[in-house]
């Protein structure tokens, strides 16, 4: 089963969210609905270990990522 993760930021949304793509089924652990927001930027899709590194580095720079999304990433 192929799983990839993409970090996404949206305009006027304080927290970034991590999109999970499992065999082309895309979702957010926190049930965030991106259709109601405009995307600002996103990372390239990556595996869990690389996304964990990105999440840790992002947290160290003071940028906020949704806690439910991060929890889902670490429970994978």
* pLDDT digits 0-9 by tens, 31-68: 999 999 999 999 999 999 999 999 888 877 777 999 99
Q: Where are the alpha helices (DSSP H) in the chain?
A: 48-60, 67-74
Percent of the chain at pLDDT > 90 equals: 78
**pLDDT band, residue 75 (cuts 50/70/90):** confident
- What does pTM read for this prediction? 0.90
Q: Is 7 exposed, middle or buried (0-12, 13-18, 19+ CB in 10 A)?
A: buried
């Amino acid at each position: 089963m192929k799983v990839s993760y993409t970090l996404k930021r949206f305009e006027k949304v304080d927290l970034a969210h991590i999109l999970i793509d499992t065999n082309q089924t895309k979702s957010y652990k926190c049930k965030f609905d991106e259709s109601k927001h405009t995307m600002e930027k996103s990372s390239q899709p990556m595996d869990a270990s690389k996304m964990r590194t990105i999440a840790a580095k992002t947290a160290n720079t003071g940028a906020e990522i949704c806690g439910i999304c991060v929890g889902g990433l670490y429970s994978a």
